[in-house]
Structure 1
């Protein structure tokens, strides 16, 4: 693959002193692989699309959040009314004497990039980002200082209200979409039964389906299938398991049916997908088993 685009600081930040900027994408179009001279936080508000981060595909929708380091490579594909905010930041420009290293992910391959943000957290973050967008467009000293203070407030909100799929998340009562997303993302290889989930959490199945489609632009079944296929793409590219084993890990009992679904969605067979990358250097990071 040819070298990705490099996005420069001077094209996105109004002055050499401004540490933060907000780039709203409403909607976010498809965008080729790129890196930056800055780091960024990505918050997804609505719609859905394929976000590829360091060769790993993620089907993103409302509430998804990513920490992107300056040397990370990512892109957007197959977008559908995808609305998000990019909060760009340059740590070397920070002036507040606080422990940024404790609040932002470290610059190494082991940090967790992908999180979910609760419904309450999204509401709080949206208000701060609106203020941040206004102040970060200015160049006077007071605005620069206020921008960094607002960014600190945003980072603290994200730390308090983010949660990770597959972990013991203590989500607020009544946050139906958060509970559902956490269950769906916990393990796309496990069978998910919506009726059982709704009975356990005392939720109305029909209302939950409507809420999910309204916020994401997808049905629950389609979203779950996309999660399974994203996992399969990554396993085929970065692992050496047999295709039948990949199918089983991604929730398909029949490897032939898996091949049919994979080919229909991607345009190539699982074997052809794997062969695309066999000669390329595999990523240094490996899928956690």
Structure 2
């Protein structure tokens, strides 16, 4: 059995070596096992994938911290791979909430987690920098007390809320870096030029959400990106396949979807 500390060290090593690695996002234990079987080196949870699995919308505070931690625990237990988690806004506006969320993440075996600066409030979608920094500082204090390297991710949410202000995004990530974040992430960047500018503006590993402007993993590696995640895309692909099959059943009464379904024996073997 691989210990949490061993997973943490191997996860940090992925960030320390040259190049860029893919960090796919399972939404449950089964998808985690399938990704591990394909040879990925680490996994990240997805708030969107979890929300959709629970029959809830994503990004509006409907998924609880208990549900998020329980889901992360199941994914951690499913494989020997390092797992980092999407911990949303830390499940509370106060710095103490972010710190408690990190404590609970550590307790279920995670070796990394992100705290975003989204407020879930329509008229003010992101926190002021000063308050956002206080939340990262509180989370970082928990991380500093550990005997292994838990990678705290500082997330700037501007672009996901229609605030395409690269300058402010960079200032935020620079502040989160100073506050103790070891990885930086600004989901929603739209061009390779924005990614390149961000990477050059910080001195921590940068996570990018898929490939803006059609960029491949190789393209992003050339820009200095250290890791690439896909958010809820794999979960949406799975739900897309399900809906396509269900619509065929409902609208045509045919069963052609079974030709593309993964064989029962293959899944049984993968989950054995």
TM-score (norm 2): 0.30
Report the structure number with the largest CA radius of gyration. 1
Larger relative contact order (Cα-Cα within 8 Å, sequence gap ≥ 6):
2
TM-score (norm 1): 0.29
